[in-house]
Chain A
Amino acid sequence: MISCAEATRQLWEYLDGMVDAAARDAIDEHLAQCRRCCGELEFAHELRSFLARSVGDGIPDAVLRRLNHTLEELSLWAAT
C-alpha cells in the first residue's frame, strides 16, 4: 500500500480526475484504510469549493464607466 505522503501528494489531482487508473486504485486502497487521509481528502475538497466561492465583488461603477469610455473611444476610432 502507498504511504500517507504519497497519497496526500496526489489528492488534488485525484479530485481533478488527473491521475491514471493505477494511481487512482492505489489512492482508493489507501483511503479505505486511512482515516487521516480521508480527512485530508475532505479538506482538499472544501478548499476547492472555498476558492471557487472567493471570487469577490463585481466591478466598481467608476471603473466600469472609465472602461466603457475607452470602448466608446475605440468605436469612434473604428468609425473614422
Chain B
Amino acid sequence: MTESRAGDGEQFRTLAREQLPRLYSVARRLVGGEAEDAVQDCLLKAFLRFGQLHRPAAGPAWLMSILVNCCRDRCRANARRPDEVDFDEVEQFSLYRKIAYEDPFPYSDSLHLDFLAEFGPEDVRAVLLRLPPRYRIPLVLVYMDGYLAREVAGMLDVPLGTVLAQLHRGRKLFEKHLWDYATCGGLLREATR
C-alpha cells in the first residue's frame, strides 16, 4: 500500500460503498459490458491514492474522476483504429427535420416526442456505445449526469474548448445515430406496425 494509511480503510470503504451505484451507472454508459471491470479498476486506484484526498466533501467527484479515466483507458486499449467520422455530413444532419420529413408516425400529433418514446434506456445505451469515446464521455457526463463542461475538462485534463467542441460534435453524432438505430434496428417498423 503506497499512500493509504490503515485507519483510512474504513473511511474509504464508506465513501466508495455510497458511490457504487452511481459509478456503475456511469460506467455502463461509457464502456458497456466492461462496466464492472472499470469500477474494479477505479476502486483499486482510488484506494491506493486515498491519501491524496484532503477534503472528504470532494470524495464523490474525486472518485468519479478516477472512474472516468479508467473508462477512457479501457476505450483506448480497445480501439483498433482511429475513429473515422464524416463530420461534413454529420454537421448538416438535423434529427428534427429528418423526423418531420420521413414522418414515421403518420397519424401522430406529436411526431418528435413519439419518436423519442420508442427508445428505452437499453436502446439509448446502445446508441451511446456507437459513438467514439471522445464524444461519448463528455455527452454522458454533461447531459446525463449533470456535470458542467468545465468539470469534465478538469476530469479529463483537457482545455474547456476541447470539451465544448466534443460536446457539439457528440450531440450531432448522437442525433444521427439515434435515427440510424431506429431505422436499421427496427424500432420504427415495430412502432408503425
Contacts and interface: CB of A to CB of B under 8 A. Distances in A.
Contacts of B135: none
Given A18-B164, A59-B24, A70 B40 contact: yes
Interface of B: 1, 4-10, 12-13, 16-17, 20-21, 24-25, 28-29, 36, 39-40, 43-44, 47, 91, 94-97, 100, 112-113, 116, 119, 121-122, 124-125, 139, 143-146, 149, 164, 167-168, 171, 175
B94 A79 contact: no
Contacts of A70: 40, 43-44
A71 B16 CA distance: 8
Given A46-B113, A67-B39, A58 B21 contact: yes
Residue from the set B12, B44, B96, B124 with the largest chain A CB neighbour count within 10 Å: B96
A51 B147 CA distance: 13
A78 interface: yes
A43 B36 contact: no
Given A71-B16, A78-B6, A63 B24 contact: yes
B24 A67 contact: yes
A59 B36 CA distance: 10
Contacts, number: 108
Interface string A66-77: 111011101111
Interface of A: 8-9, 12-13, 16, 18, 39-40, 43-44, 46-48, 50-52, 54-59, 63-64, 66-68, 70-72, 74-80
A12 B29 CA distance: 21
Nearest to A67: B20
A75 to B, nearest CB: 4
A1 B39 CA distance: 50
